[in-house]
Amino acid sequence: MIIVMQASAKEHEVEHVVTSLKNAGLGVHLSEGEFRTIIGAIGDEKLVRALGLEALPFVEKVLPITQPFKLVSREFQAEDSIFQIGNCTIGGNQVILMAGPCAVESEEQLLAAAEGVKAAGAQILRGGAFKPRTSPYSFQGLEEEGLKLLARVREKTGLPIVTEVMDQYTVELVAEYADIIQVGTRNMQNFYMLRELGKLQKPILLKRGLSATIEEWLMAAEYIMAGGNHQVILCERGIRTFETYTRNTLDLSAVPVVKHLTHLPVIVDPSHGTGNWRFVPAMSRAAVAAGADGVMVEVHPQPEKALCDGAQSLTIEKFTALSKELAELAAVLGKYI
Amino acid sequence: MIIVMQASAKEHEVEHVVTSLKNAGLGVHLSEGEFRTIIGAIGDEKLVRALGLEALPFVEKVLPITQPFKLVSREFQAEDSIFQIGNCTIGGNQVILMAGPCAVESEEQLLAAAEGVKAAGAQILRGGAFKPRTSPYSFQGLEEEGLKLLARVREKTGLPIVTEVMDQYTVELVAEYADIIQVGTRNMQNFYMLRELGKLQKPILLKRGLSATIEEWLMAAEYIMAGGNHQVILCERGIRTFETYTRNTLDLSAVPVVKHLTHLPVIVDPSHGTGNWRFVPAMSRAAVAAGADGVMVEVHPQPEKALCDGAQSLTIEKFTALSKELAELAAVLGKYI
Amino acid sequence: MIIVMQASAKEHEVEHVVTSLKNAGLGVHLSEGEFRTIIGAIGDEKLVRALGLEALPFVEKVLPITQPFKLVSREFQAEDSIFQIGNCTIGGNQVILMAGPCAVESEEQLLAAAEGVKAAGAQILRGGAFKPRTSPYSFQGLEEEGLKLLARVREKTGLPIVTEVMDQYTVELVAEYADIIQVGTRNMQNFYMLRELGKLQKPILLKRGLSATIEEWLMAAEYIMAGGNHQVILCERGIRTFETYTRNTLDLSAVPVVKHLTHLPVIVDPSHGTGNWRFVPAMSRAAVAAGADGVMVEVHPQPEKALCDGAQSLTIEKFTALSKELAELAAVLGKYI
Amino acid sequence: MIIVMQASAKEHEVEHVVTSLKNAGLGVHLSEGEFRTIIGAIGDEKLVRALGLEALPFVEKVLPITQPFKLVSREFQAEDSIFQIGNCTIGGNQVILMAGPCAVESEEQLLAAAEGVKAAGAQILRGGAFKPRTSPYSFQGLEEEGLKLLARVREKTGLPIVTEVMDQYTVELVAEYADIIQVGTRNMQNFYMLRELGKLQKPILLKRGLSATIEEWLMAAEYIMAGGNHQVILCERGIRTFETYTRNTLDLSAVPVVKHLTHLPVIVDPSHGTGNWRFVPAMSRAAVAAGADGVMVEVHPQPEKALCDGAQSLTIEKFTALSKELAELAAVLGKYI
């Protein structure tokens, strides 16, 4: 940590900071510049944070030097994490396609979607059972009944399922059914829930919050890993910006950044990222080319009948064409689907 | 709703949309322009949304005309809502000061803060019992013990308390202790929790989400009101932007906008909005001048010893000076503290 | 245009708007809802804008239905625009690599860069002669001398050159030397300069403004085209968001959006988009996969000696490896370099 | 400056950085942590920047410690700058009202506006002569004829005028007429123009760029001051965010931040900041309460006839009421209008 003093800080105020650091067991390096004094604190940054030095009126700012996360970092583990899910692996050379409807609506709908995406090459089925919505007047999901339908369709098709959990109290319930548990964008910092997920030994798909920095996203992953569950899959799904033509701005640069900083796999959700089926194929290709370990795509047998997010769903026909393109792309990159 | 067709849409595709609207019981107004056909749907916008027309490849976009919220709107209730809390009222001519520490740490700390802010003129005590934090390695709050301390300090000082609830399962517990229940920025769209809060008859302080539009914020208020609880107090606390000098960007224009669109009271939290105690007095004054019904300010007897957010906390001395300024300001605006 | 009246608007106020529209030669469609009256204006939206109806206290808002641009739109020209530059074409099946240093520093530096990128497969040389900088204390470019060096290196290598113009008064000067004239992000809305560029018959590379919406960007292209110069190449280079790990957030979804809305070619600048050479290869691949007509990459023979933006420049070695990857990627997409 | 090495950096790579720093005449402090080496460079940060260390593959990042600006900083000048303009002063206890139409349209319009705002208490007249617009199809300003009208109206009313300059070539022309020269939001980083303005001895009103950080804004002020013109007035006018209900988000926290960092006066433009006349009075009051040295408000005798930005203009009547409110507010704050 670097403590930058106010230009007007007096000698005894500098001394106050130095003593606080030393009392906390930290090394101190003092540097007196032309305008201000800079204090370098040598040792564990957590100890410095606990001192609350920013609250002192003679301290201008406190600058961290190292990343606040550990277990997720490349320093902690240099080689890529690879997780086994059913017959496929994520984080290695396989490109994973997770596909299916936004919300589970009925067995017919889900089975039609599942069979369609499986035939097209998808390895994992997605579908939401809990769908709390912005408007109190909209469809809110089939809840446990939806989880049962997912399990039934998994049995029929052999596709592992990824589905979302909404709070810490339903973690156990969802874990009973899901092969991968999804943390939605609004729950990325639901720390009570992250703590429960940390106790499982099951892959967690952690979506980036709508306005979360990459650092905050990785801290959420750290939360889960600190609890003992090291199977975290990151999922970029668009951030909020001033652009209104797309629903969100898909931040694909997060893919190489995350690959640089961490050993965790990262997938991309271009359906929520763009909010418009027209742009999903292009952004899926871009995600794979950027190095993503997979994509998560909304597919509905009849998008215009969807109870949720039809505007961003591909038909099975369009998804089939996309899957073929992605397979060719993966091959050029030394990967496969 | 206005349905804008693709420029390339064919006659039978226009017909398809028109028929769908008519079958749903909606009136239709067709307007054929030089480049494209525009269809006006007359009637309840919810019915149009349910048709999922955006998913159709020949539809360019679907534009809403009216606001999606009702109960919160000025159309529904023209006069300002005013709520009674203890001896004070919010939403009328009184300017409310909610003050206290970020987190409840101990009885000594809380009592010192409470007595200090009360003497300075604050009418309501704030303090967090549940403090889930970005880092798994930080202090997480005293939980139920914290609620009990709040109640004890209320008894001693007579100050009503506002404190945060974290999920739907603790709504009942928090409601037992709190005079105003706070919904934090990360929970603004926790719809399960909003539903529970809608069943109470107690004021809810609804913080704006970190990247929530005003419309989304008002939809969250609508959720609570749709459940039957009409006592919603809005709280602007800063949005995320590219500016890094302040922790967030306090969007004070939200105050007059919300006053224009709704009948609900709105208060401002300059402590989280700026993240720096230096800027809290200026932004508190600005909030009151913009027409806010109050401010919520973090005050700590010893900010540099705070377990949470010390950098944005005022000392009791500084808060006392601020309170005096705000009282003078309120008087000029025809209000009082 | 749709004019939404205030809920409180009186009959004679609605009449006022209707009369204004009719006097301006527009058709009118009136729709009286439960809460408010909506007025549809049929005809040229420019005529509606000129009426200034938003200023009337009884008008809530005025909603445009059609895009404000024409010449750039797919409605105006359905097939893709393809421009010839030297031996290559942009906008068709060829993927264009523009590469070279941020700033022209010396003949040695420029020639080394040009020969390196040419050998690697780049078809166009980039290099800045005018480099006004954020800090008054930094290198500001070689100006006209830089243009001359670019011309000399073009002669030696055969590579066409793209270089930036800074204001309307130097348009003629730059046009004398450049094969493609670049409009920088800070000048996207320098309308005096756009007007001068509209009088040329030379390709213009129009960078998106740092916080420009796609609509504003296309309006800037419209400005140039309205003047008579139809050779506009769009260039996405990152927008400003709250994320700080990358210098900007490269908005790759702009590529398919722009392809959907317009017939113009679009290229991507991952160097400015990310600000970090580590992420340039991944984002270049992603750009091509998203459907971009090319990429613009900063390459410097010795990045750590660069007078400008060394941190985002590739070495010639790294660019050579990237170019090979992009060629393979292009082949899969039915394109070539 | 702090140079953070990659965790994988080898000893000779650390040595390479240390030697570079020493050769540049900088002091070096080495700190070897558990995971990575940190190098503190002691001396002028400009020298460190010139080394381009971020481009080295074994350097993770380079962190600046001090602000990059000097002349604008409180360290350079502790007491507030106060500038004399006509009979009024800006930067001290007087609150300045700059008011007038967005664009100069005719002598009648300008005179009516000027007489109206003068009677209401405004001390300075604003009006744009050069109005390059987003759409090539809109009114573009009266140009030099507009400047002449401004001068004529100044003669009649005695009000000093503030008007915008668009590029370096018209600086001289505008300086001939204007009492304060305005730099618009799109020109905040037009460094050629800033350089010319630095040669004058006339107050410059420097608007913040639409997506400029406070640091970039202050660097633009530094540019002007570095040229020798120390009369810079900052103007906050809203930044671009995801919120669409207001045209921009007025960042009022910039007022206390700028007051903390610099000695320059700062005024606020709530007309562009909100884009809606309804919200201008509330945000004007808030600006003054936040400590702004004045506000700049668009006033038009007939907003619905305005050729430019009528929706955000106040009538003379509304401005008169606002001015009275601001005078009362100023009095409470120990200021006057």
What is the longest distance spanned by two Cα atoms in chain B? 75
C306/D226 Cβ within 8 A: no
**pLDDT tens, residue by residue, C146-174:** 999 999 999 999 999 999 999 888 999 99
- D274: closest CA of chain A, how far (Å): 15
Nearest residue in D to A28, CA atom: D31
User: Average pLDDT of D15-40?
Assistant: 85
Q: Give the residues across from C314 on adjacent strands.
A: C299
Backbone angles phi, psi at A325, to 5 degrees: -60, -45
The identity of residue A246, as a single letter, is T
Mutation target for B interface from A17, A211, A241: give the one with most B CBs within 10 A.
A211
Interface-testing mutation among D66, D240, D248, with chain A (most A C-beta atoms within 10 A):
D66
- Cα–Cα distance measured from residue D179 to residue D125, given in angstroms and rounded to the nearest whole number: 10
At residue D153, does pLDDT exceed 90?
Answer: yes
| Contact of B59 with B4, CB cutoff 8 Å | yes
Question: Are B214 and D283 inside 8 Å of each other by CB?
Answer: no
Contact state of A244 with D241 under an 8 Å Cβ cutoff: no
Radius of gyration of chain A (CA): 23
Report residue B54's pLDDT band, with 50, 70 and 90 as the boundaries.
confident
Give the percent of chain D with pLDDT over 90: 75
Mean pLDDT, range D30-53, rounded to an integer: 81
Pinpoint the residues of chain B covered by CATH 3.30.70.1140. Answer: 2-63
The ipTM, to two decimals, is: 0.93
The DSSP string of A266-283 is EEE-HHHHHS-GGGHHHH
Contact C253 A274 (CB under 8 A): yes
Query: Cβ contacts (< 8 Å) between C40 and chain B: which residues?
Result: 29, 31, 40
Alpha-carbon distance of D80 to D84, in angstroms, equals 13
Across the interface, whether the CB atoms of A75 and D31 are under 8 A apart is answered: no
Can you give the length of chain D in residues?
337
Residue C3 CA to residue C49 CA, distance in Å, equals 11
CA distance D2 to chain C (A): 16
* pLDDT, tens only, A197-215: 999 999 999 999 999 999 9
Location of structure tokens 């006018």:
D237
Categorize the per-residue pLDDT at B134 as very low, low, confident or very high, splitting at 50, 70 and 90. Answer: low
Task: Return the pLDDT at C245.
Answer: 92
Partner-chain residue, chosen from B132, B192, B305, that has the shortest CB–CB distance to A52: B305
CATH architecture of structural domain D2-63: 2-Layer Sandwich (3.30)
- Nearest-Cα distance to chain D for C204, in Å, is 17
SS3 C245: coil
Q: How far is C14 from chain B (nearest CA, A)?
A: 17
Q: Tell me which residue of B239, B290, B286 sits closest to B260, measured CA to CA.
A: B290
Q: Out of C29, C38, C242, name the one closest to residue B31 (CB).
A: C29
Question: D35, A75: Cβ pair inside 8 Å?
Answer: yes
Q: pLDDT value at position D134? A: 66
Q: Which of A56-60, D93-97, D262-266 has the lowest mean pLDDT?
A: A56-60
Question: What average pLDDT does the segment C276-283 reach?
Answer: 96
Question: Hey, of A216, A252, A266, A277, which one would you mutate to test binding to chain C, going by the most C CBs within 10 A of its CB?
Answer: A252
Query: B271: pLDDT confidence band, cut at 50, 70 and 90?
Result: very high
Do D88 and D62 touch, CB atoms closer than 8 A?
no
pLDDT at B25 over 70: yes
pLDDT at D162 over 90: yes
> Which residues of chain B have a CB within 8 Å of the CB of A137?
46, 226
Domain limits, CATH 3.20.20.70, in chain A: 83-332
Dihedrals phi, psi of B319, to nearest 5 degrees:
-65, -35
> Closest to A68 (Cβ–Cβ): which among B54, B135, B222?
B135
- Most A-contacting residue of D5, D32, D38 (CB-CB within 10 A), to test interface: D38
Q: Which residues of A touch B191 (CB under 8 A)?
A: 132-134, 136, 140
Task: Report the distance separating Cα A186 and Cα A182, nearest Å.
Answer: 11
What are the tens digits of pLDDT across the range D102-131?
999 999 999 999 999 999 999 999 999 998
Higher pLDDT, B215 or D138: B215
pTM (two decimals):
0.93
The residue type found at B87 is N
Closest CA in chain C for residue D46: C137
Chain A hits for D40, CB-CB cut-off 8 Å, are 29, 31, 40
From chain B, pick out residues whose CB is under 8 angstroms from the CB of C33: 42, 66
Q: Residue B65 and residue C241: Cβ atoms within 8 Å?
A: no
pLDDT band at B30 (very low <50, low <70, confident <90, very high): confident
Asked whether B273 and B237 are in contact (CB, 8 A), the reply is yes
pLDDT band at C134 (very low <50, low <70, confident <90, very high): low
From chain B, the residues in CB contact with C244 under 8 A are 244
What's the Cα-to-Cα distance from B78 to each of A237, B229, B260, B262, D212, rounded to whole Å?
40, 18, 10, 8, 39
Report pLDDT digits (tens) over C38-82.
Answer: 888 888 888 888 888 888 889 988 888 777 888 999 989 999 999
Select from D54, D168, D226 the Cβ nearest to the Cβ of C310: D54
Name the residue among C174, C163, C224 with its Cα closest to residue C197: C224
- Percentage of the residues of chain D whose pLDDT score is greater than 70: 98
* Mean of pLDDT values over C229-256: 97
Which chain C residue has the Cα nearest residue D222? Answer: C136
Give the minimum alpha-carbon distance from D81 to chain B in angstroms, rounded to a whole number.
20
pLDDT averaged over 10-residue windows placed end to end, chain A, 337 residues: 87 92 88 79 82 87 83 93 96 98 95 98 96 72 93 98 93 96 95 94 97 96 95 98 95 98 98 95 98 98 85 95 98 97
Please report the pLDDT score of residue A308 as a whole number.
80
In the predicted structure, residue B333 carries a pLDDT above the cut 90: yes
Question: How high does pLDDT run on average in chain D?
Answer: 93
Q: What is the mean pLDDT of residues B231-245?
A: 97
Residue A319's pLDDT is 98
Displacement of CA D247 from its chain's centroid (Å): 18
Nearest chain B Cα distance for residue C231, angstroms: 24
Record: contact C52-D133, CB cut-off 8 A: no
Contacting chains of C (3 CB pairs or more, <8 Å) are A, B, D
Mean pLDDT of C110-121: 98
Region D161-181 average pLDDT? 95
Q: For residues C326 and C285, is the Cβ–Cβ distance under 8 A? A: yes
The three-state secondary structure class of B267 is strand
Residue with tokens 């469609």: C29
Token readout for D28 is 């070096």
Closest CA to A38 of D32, D53, D27: D27
Contact between B273 and D282 using a beta-carbon 8 Å cutoff: no
- pLDDT computed for residue C13 by the predictor: 92
Q: How far apart are CA B243 and CA D257, in angstroms?
A: 12
Chain B's closest residue to C62, CA to CA, is: B65
Which chain D residue has the Cα nearest residue A76? D35
For residue A255, the SS3 value is helix
Q: Are B54 and A310 in contact (CB under 8 A)?
A: yes
- Asked whether the beta carbons of residue A242 and residue C332 sit closer than 8 angstroms, the reply is no
Q: Which of A242, A252, A332 sits opposite C252 (nearest CB)?
A: A252
**Which of D242, D243, D322, D325 to mutate to probe the B interface, most B CBs <10 Å?**
D243
pLDDT band at B321 (very low <50, low <70, confident <90, very high): very high
Tell me if D243 and B214 make a contact (CB, 8 A cut-off): yes
CA distance C96 to C105: 24
Contact at CB, A282 and C274, closer than 8 angstroms: no
- What is the structure's pLDDT at C305? 84
Q: Closest chain A residue to C257 measured between Cα atoms?
A: A279
CA count, 13 A, side-chain hemisphere, D195? 12
CATH number for the region C83-332 comes to: 3.20.20.70
Cross-chain Cβ contact B219/A313 below 8 Å: no
Q: Which one of A29, A35, A42 has the shortest CB-CB distance to D66?
A: A35
Closest CA–CA distance from residue B242 to any residue of chain C (Å): 4
